Structures are given as C-alpha cells and as structure tokens.
C-alpha cells in the first residue's frame, strides 16, 4: 500500500534498529575490503587475495564487541543457531577464507539494482531478528549463492529468454534440452506475473496443475524459479509491505535463505483436499502405512514467519479478502480479463547489450556513485552529530543509484516477456493496468502513476 514506510524499513527505524543497521554496514564493508578513510594503520588488515581479515589485538577487541559471542556459536564464529538449516554459518567461513572481497562487493551491488541499499540490508536483519552476526552470515552466503551457485547476474538475467531460444536450436543435445525446458515453462505459463493485491504488492500466479514431475530437468526448474523471482523484484513499487517436492523445496530455500523478507503472502487457491488439510497415504515400508498431511510436511520445512504468510482460499469471496475482484483474473472467477500468452523473443531486442562504450560509461558512473555512497555511509556511522544531514545525502545517492540502474538496465539485462508486453517500460516505469505502451515513453517517472496513485517517493526496499 502506498503511504508511510512500514516499521523496520528505511525512514521508519527505532534508535536500536538504526544502530543494528550501522553495525551491519560496518561489518559488511569490512568484509568487502572497504577501508574507512581515517582508519589507523594498526587497524584490521586484509591479506592480499585471501579474502580473510587479520585483526590485531586492538581491533580484535573491537570486533568481538560488535559480535558478542553467544552460547550458540562455534569457536570459529559460525552460528549453530537452529535457524541455520541451510548451513550458511559454515559456508560463511568458507567464503571469507576463499573468496576475493571485491567479488563479494560486486555481487552485493549487482543485487541492489534499483533497491535502496539500506532496504536490502534491512531485509537480512529482519529475517534474522536483528541479530547482526546472523544477518551478515546470511548476506555473505547469499552473495556467494548468487555468484557461484546460480550465476544470477552474469548468466540467468544477462542471457535470459533470448539465449534460451538460441540454445533450444543447438546441435548439442544437453544444451538443446535445457533451452527447450526453460522455454517450455514460459510458454505453458506455469507461473506468471500480473497485477497487484490490496496492499499494492505484485502478484505471481503459479499454476501448479501445469507442473508434471520429470517433464523438465531440475536445473531448468531452478533456473526458471530464480528468473521469475529476479524479474518480480523489478516490479516492486514504492512503500508497500511484500506433490513434486523438489521444486517446492528449492522455492522455499530461495525465499528463506537468499531472498529474505521478500514474500508478502502466499494464497493457495482451491487446493485439492489431499493437500490443504486432509491426509494422503504414504508407504513407509513393505508392511507399514502411515497418513501424513501434505501441508503438514511442507509446513515443517518452513520458517514459522514464512508459514504464517500461507493462506488457503476455497472460493472467490475468500480470495477477495486479499485481492480486489477487479484485479482477480477471470480464470479464477474475477473481473480482470487478462489471459496469459507468451510472446517470443524478438530479433534485435537485446541490441543495446552489444553497445560496449555506452554500457561501460554507465557502469563507471554507477561505480562512482557506489563509492560515494560507501564513503558517506562510513561518515554517517562515525559522525553522530550530523547523522540526519548525512542520512539525507545517503538517500539522495540511493535515488541516484535507482535512476542510474534503469539507465543501465537495457545494457546488462536481456529483455523478458514483461518488457515485450509493456509491463516493464523504459526507465523503470511499471504498468500492470491501463493504456498500452506508447512509442514515446515519458522521461520523468514521477509523472507516471505506477500501479495506482503516484507514490510519495520510490522505495522498492519497503516491498515484501
């Protein structure tokens, strides 16, 4: 919903929450190898290329004061908290020991995109109940996952649907199958993004009935899932709160471990009785049968906060508690005439990605703004007397980063279905409903309503 920031978001932090945010920025910039301008020579030093921090005795005391040792931490500082079901504590230690800090820094700023940088860090803090150390562990593990496991920004989003179409015609059987599997899910409309709920949150429709186990490879399923989530992040507007178990488990891990505080609500509409509360019979051994509720199985995998966001709706009336009838597609009994239809990639739609000089100029401009943001952030942490003034400068730079991202976007991200159909428009204008895209899109984003009334200010970080 458009309006004041929700609690725990930029512009609406308690004194304690702001302190935790400053601690997380301090720790994050240290991991990224960003030194404070006035840092003394005997402060923490980084071994070249090691990715590890070697504190001296003075700095060690300071570091421990930031991350107070708790009874649920191992001697190496890795968390053994029960929340760490994905093993991010050990991954964190491994990443610090093996990864180049600059690569982690690059992965972070690539994930920021058009978000407010504070908003991104605050997601990790809220997901880890404002525990700075656990939030840092989760953040660094996520950067490694994006960079090493999924290659989100240098493969999935850069190559996109156009590359999948090229791969589907490859003479290499393995490459051909992955391309075909990825496109098959798009053409089916297994999931699609359309419209907003009563809170102004973008909606993702998942047509479970279209998923058939084994039809697509696990790799293409995971790639498609990440692609959908990353594309959905581009649709976030301002000041709103956001039976085949393998893909379900992967989706759960994405939202819990790698996209924290990014899920607003999950509506399971007209679920089969075997799923939502009744029981299904599973054979446990040759002579032993037991009945287990399918939802109870899945609920056991979920963080309680995520589980609380899942709601079952049986009819249109129940669905209208969350979504206006005018925004419910006719397929589900509503008044929105929208019907999903996949539009194939067009020849030349990614031509700007080949314009190296323009891309490099925009990349350099963004890098300069990032360095300035990091510098002002360090001043904001150190100078309590001028904190309000420095915070305003940080917000101004965050807005520059947002606008700069949308200038850079056509040069680093392959066009998607939602670009071709006019949902994502030039300059980052998002249009779910209303007039078709014009040939001359407006230059000023502020002049264009985005999913409703013009926002007071664009803060994508406030979207859950």
Per-residue confidence band for 434, with pLDDT thresholds at 50, 70 and 90 = low
> What is the residue-wise DSSP string for 155-224?
IIHHHHHHHHHHHTT-SSHHHHHHHHHHHHHHHHTSEEEEEE-TTS-EEEEE-GGG--TTSS-HHHHHHH
Least confident of 9-13, 164-168, 254-258, 393-397: 254-258
Span 219-241, average pLDDT: 81
Burial 362-383 (b: 16+ CB within 10 A, else e): beeebeebbeebbebbbbbbee
pLDDT reported for residue 49: 32
**Mean pLDDT of all residues in 448-453:** 35
pTM of the model: 0.73
pLDDT, tens digit, 9 for 90 and up, residues 78-132: 444 555 655 777 889 999 999 999 999 999 999 999 999 999 999 999 989 999 9
What average pLDDT does the segment 331-356 reach? 94
pLDDT tens profile 243-267: 444 455 555 555 565 556 666 777 7
Radius of gyration of the chain (CA): 23
Whole-number Å distance between alpha carbons of 98 and 162: 34
Please state, rounded to an integer, the average pLDDT across all residues of the chain. Answer: 77
Hey, what are 138's tokens? 């989760």
In this prediction, residue 366 carries a pLDDT of: 97
**252 SS3 class:** helix
Which H or E element spans position 296?
helix 294-301
- For 90-99, 245-254, 285-294, 390-399, which range has the lowest pLDDT when averaged over its residues? 285-294
Number of residues that make up the chain: 464
Give me 78's structure tokens: 């890795």
Q: Give me the pLDDT at residue 72, please.
A: 47
**Which of 110-124, 164-178, 278-292, 330-344 is predicted least confidently?**
278-292
Q: Cβ neighbours of residue 158 under 8 Å, at least 6 residues apart?
A: 353, 412, 413, 414
- Find the mean pLDDT for residues 349-373: 97
pLDDT, tens only, 158-217? 999 999 999 999 999 999 999 999 999 999 999 999 998 888 888 888 887 788 888 889
| % of the chain at pLDDT higher than 90 | 50
Place 1 in a pLDDT band, splitting at 50, 70 and 90.
very low
Q: What is the pLDDT confidence band of residue 310, given thresholds at 50, 70 and 90? A: confident
More confident residue, 167 or 321: 167
Provide, rounded to the nearest whole percent, the portion of the chain with pLDDT above 70.
68
| Residue 396, both tokens | 């101004």
Q: What integer is the mean pLDDT of 131-151? A: 93
pLDDT the model gives residue 418: 96
CB-count burial class (<10 Å; 0-12, 13-18, 19+) for 44: middle
Q: What pLDDT score was predicted for residue 272?
A: 54
């Amino acid at each position: 919903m458009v309006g004041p920031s929700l609690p725990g978001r930029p512009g609406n932090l308690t004194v304690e929450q702001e302190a935790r945010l400053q601690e997380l920025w301090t720790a994050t910039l240290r991991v990224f190898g960003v030194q404070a301008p006035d840092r003394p020579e005997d402060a923490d030093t980084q071994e070249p290329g090691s990715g590890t921090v070697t504190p001296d005795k003075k700095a060690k005391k300071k570091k421990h004061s930031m991350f107070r040792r708790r009874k649920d931490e191992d001697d190496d500082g890795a968390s053994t908290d029960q929340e760490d079901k994905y093993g991010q504590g050990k991954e964190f230690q491994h990443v610090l020991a093996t990864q180049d800090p600059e690569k982690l820094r690059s992965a972070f700023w690539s994930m920021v995109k058009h978000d407010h940088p504070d908003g991104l860090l605050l997601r990790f803090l809220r997901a880890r109940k404002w525990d700075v150390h656990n939030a840092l562990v989760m953040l660094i593990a996520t950067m490694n996952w994006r960079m090493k496991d999924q290659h989100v920004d240098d493969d999935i989003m850069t190559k996109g649907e156009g590359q999948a179409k090229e791969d589907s015609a490859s003479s290499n059987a393995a490459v051909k199958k992955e391309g075909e599997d990825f496109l098959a899910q798009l053409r089916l409309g297994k999931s699609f993004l359309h419209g907003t709920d009563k809170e102004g949150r973008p909606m993702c429709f998942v047509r479970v009935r279209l998923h058939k186990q084994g039809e697509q490879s696990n790799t293409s399923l995971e790639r498609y899932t990440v692609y959908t989530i990353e594309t959905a992040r581009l649709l976030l507007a301002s000041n709103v709160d956001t039976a085949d178990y393998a893909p379900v488990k992967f989706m759960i891990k994405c939202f819990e471990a790698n996209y924290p505080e990014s899920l607003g609500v999950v509506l399971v509409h007209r679920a089969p009785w075997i799923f939502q509360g009744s029981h299904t019979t599973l054979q446990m051994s040759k002579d032993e049968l037991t009945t287990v509720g399918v939802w109870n199985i899945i609920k056991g995998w979920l963080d309680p906060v995520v589980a609380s966001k899942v709601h079952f709706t049986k009819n249109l009336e129940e669905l209208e508690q969350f979504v206006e009838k005018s925004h419910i597609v006719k397929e589900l009994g509503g008044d929105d005439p929208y019907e999903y239809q996949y539009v194939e990639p067009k020849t030349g739609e990614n031509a700007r990605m080949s314009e190296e000089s323009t891309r490099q100029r925009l990349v350099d401009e963004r890098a300069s703004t990032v360095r300035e943001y990091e510098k002002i952030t360090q001043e904001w942490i150190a100078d309590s007397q001028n904190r309000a003034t420095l915070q305003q400068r940080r917000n101004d730079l965050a807005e520059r980063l947002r606008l700069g991202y949308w200038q850079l976007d056509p040069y680093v991200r392959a066009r998607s279905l939602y670009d071709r159909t006019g949902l994502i428009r030039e300059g980052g204008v998002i249009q779910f409903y209303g007039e078709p895209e014009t040939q001359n899109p407006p230059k000023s984003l502020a002049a264009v309503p985005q999913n409703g009334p013009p926002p007071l200010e664009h803060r994508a970080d406030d979207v859950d």
